[in-house]
């Protein structure tokens, strides 16, 4: 049994999920390469999600629940900056796919959300994928260069977020 048809479907889904390719500017500027790298990195980060029948954005829920065991739906929605009603269908789908579960947490037994064993394994895969991409980015940079790049990117993001 070949996995090629499944891989083609995954690739098509990824392509439909990110922006179409940019038209090439006169010169391949650093900004162009930065945007292209961001698009390709996002595509690479989507592969383990789609391989597990998950959707873009599910990773944000998974990572948030990893760090906030027993988070309520309201708290999770606030952390993800989503309306709780918009988050409900995603949580229902993730529960149906055995990624998250609802359980009583704390002394008051308040219902909260947690990752299942499968959710924990998926989180590990997603984290490892993230770490590999980051290692590839920083492969040829020493600590000083990494810090300088991080500082420059942070400043650029802050400039773009200005009203």
Burial tier of 157 (Cβ tally within 10 Å: 0-12, 13-18, 19+) = exposed
DSSP letter assigned to residue 71: B
pTM for the whole structure = 0.74
pLDDT confidence of 100, banded at 50, 70, 90?
very high
pLDDT confidence of 2, banded at 50, 70, 90?
very low
Mean pLDDT of 90-116: 89
Mean pLDDT computed over every residue of the chain: 85
Integer angstrom CA distances of residue 89 from 63, 86, 96: 18, 7, 10
Judgement on whether residues 37 and 95 belong to the same structural domain of the protein:
no
We report the CATH number of the domain holding residue 91 as 1.10.10.10
pLDDT confidence of 30, banded at 50, 70, 90?
confident
Judgement on whether residues 122 and 91 belong to the same structural domain of the protein:
yes
Is pLDDT above 50 for 99? yes
Contact 71, 113 (CB under 8 A): yes
Is pLDDT above 50 for 35? yes
Phi, psi for residue 104 in degrees, rounded to 5: -75, 130
The residues with which 71 forms a beta bridge, in sequence order, are 113
Q: Look up residue 141 and give its two tokens.
A: 């940079």
Mean pLDDT of 59-67: 94
Judgement on whether residues 10 and 30 belong to the same structural domain of the protein:
yes
Judgement on whether residues 147 and 163 belong to the same structural domain of the protein:
yes
């Amino acid at each position: 049994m070949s996995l090629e048809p499944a891989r083609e479907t995954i690739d098509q889904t990824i392509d439909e999920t990110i922006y179409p390719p940019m038209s090439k500017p006169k010169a391949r500027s650093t900004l162009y390469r930065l945007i292209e790298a961001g698009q390709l990195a996002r595509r690479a980060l989507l592969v383990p999600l789609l391989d597990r029948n998950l959707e873009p954005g599910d990773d944000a829920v998974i990572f948030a629940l990893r760090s906030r065991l027993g988070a309520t739906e309201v708290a999770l929605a606030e952390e993800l900056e989503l309306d709780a009603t918009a988050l409900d269908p995603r949580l229902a789908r993730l529960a149906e796919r055995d990624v998250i579960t609802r359980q009583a947490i704390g002394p008051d037994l308040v219902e909260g959300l947690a990752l299942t064993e499968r959710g924990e394994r998926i989180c590990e895969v997603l984290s490892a994928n993230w770490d590999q991409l980051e290692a590839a980015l920083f492969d040829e940079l020493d600590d000083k260069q990494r810090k300088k790049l991080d500082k420059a990117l942070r400043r650029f993001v802050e400039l773009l977020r200005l009203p």
